[in-house]
Amino acid sequence: MSTQSNTPRATTYWERIPQIVSFANRASFTETYGFAGNSGKVNLEGQLLRAPDRNSNTLYVFMHPTSTLQLLPMPMALADRGLHVLCAASRYAKNDSALIMENVAVDLGHWMRHAREGLGYQHVILVGWSGGGSLSLFYQAQAEKPDITQTPAGDPIDLAAEQLLPADGVIFVAAHLSRAETLTEWIDPSVIDELDPERRDLSLDIYSPECPAQPPYTAEFITTFRAAQVARNRKITAWCQDKLAQLRAAQTGEMERAFVVHRTMCDVRWLDPQVDPNGRKPGWCYMGDPRAVNVGPVGLARYSTLRSWLSQWSYDLSNAKGPANAAKIRRTSVLQIENTADDAVPATHNPAIYAALATQDKRLLRIEGATHYYVGQPELLKECIDAVVGWSREKRLLQG
């Protein structure tokens, strides 16, 4: 299907070419919905965005653990410039309730092999946007030196045996530390009873007008608030571990348990612009009014399973934490782009990733005033695309 994006200054007509990657499913039980989970195969879907009259030996691969990215401004803007872009989905597309990060790394590995061996691209650049940033670091760290042999739940998964093909370069754009670390900074610490979210500690309930602490918050309150967030994450982690142990001991055939995590979008940053300041809009988050999102159905980690929590949301156990994986990347060129008015990624996250990156071939670029999605900011989106193209040419990963 021929198309042209709505991005201002679009210059190239390009096609959306459906891509499908299938491989044997080694899971011991069904964790994905429908045919994809019970056909004996993992079936992945994606879109190749490319102009029919522009050949290239370079492919930009976008992947997010759960989102599909083919309608986002940045991939389409790259296609507008005549570049070839693959928007790849994991087996958990648009549903992260049972997501296992180790399986997502396997999925990305099959896409990377498809890019090189199936589509024939010589250079493959991994673009980690938003939640795809920590995924790109996780994947590249395991591609350089795989060491994971099991999930945090103890299920076997040998990433060395997967023979993950490394990217030639990694671009980290508008991305946070990781799903586990970001959730911990957003989870509502006022919840006392996980089964009854109405029972809350008023001293930590910052969305309540009766909370004793009001913005601007003191350093002492922020320290107490953050510690309570970590404690709640650890409490849920311990419950998941105990419940899994009970299920295994019972030997009834029940292998997993689903549950709801209430009130997961609560951060002092959103109410107090002086906390980790950047150019974000006060009283707002990237999904809207944080008071509403905190209790709504689309809040981060709202629906989960025992294994999924341990793999993607556990502050202590997740293998996909950004700084830990950045410290393992030693041989790859990395371009890091920070949007200084990002209303999703905290201002502290990009400096932490940059400091942790072990590779000496790294660059941090800040786009002043840019928000998470570049909505209504075509000139800032162009600045981002110009930086990506310029860096790719400088590293001899893109010709022309």
CB < 8 Å & 24+ apart, contacts of 159-162: 159/102, 159/105, 159/106, 162/105, 162/106, 162/109
H or E element, residue 271: helix 268-271
Read out DSSP for 222-239?
HHHHHHHHHHHHHHHHHH
Q: Which domains does the chain have, with CATH numbers?
A: 2-178+320-394 (3.40.50.1820), 181-313 (no CATH)
Segment 208-233, tens digit of pLDDT: 999 999 999 999 999 999 999 999 99
Task: Judge whether 311 and 151 are in contact, CB under 8 Å.
Answer: yes
Q: Pick from 118, 132, 126: which is nearest to 166 by CA? A: 126
Residue 34's pLDDT band (cuts 50, 70, 90)? low
Q: How many CB atoms lie within 10 A of CB 147?
A: 10
Q: What is the mean pLDDT of the chain?
A: 94
pLDDT higher at 36 or 143:
143
What's the whole-model pTM score? 0.95
Residue 2's pLDDT band (cuts 50, 70, 90)? very low
Neighbouring C-alpha atoms within 13 Å toward the C-beta of 207? 23
Residue 400 predicted with pLDDT over 90: no
Give pLDDT, residue 7. Answer: 46
Segment 83-130, tens digit of pLDDT: 999 999 999 999 999 999 999 999 999 999 999 999 999 999 999 999
Give pLDDT, residue 25. Answer: 84
Task: Judge whether 255 and 247 are in contact, CB under 8 Å.
Answer: yes
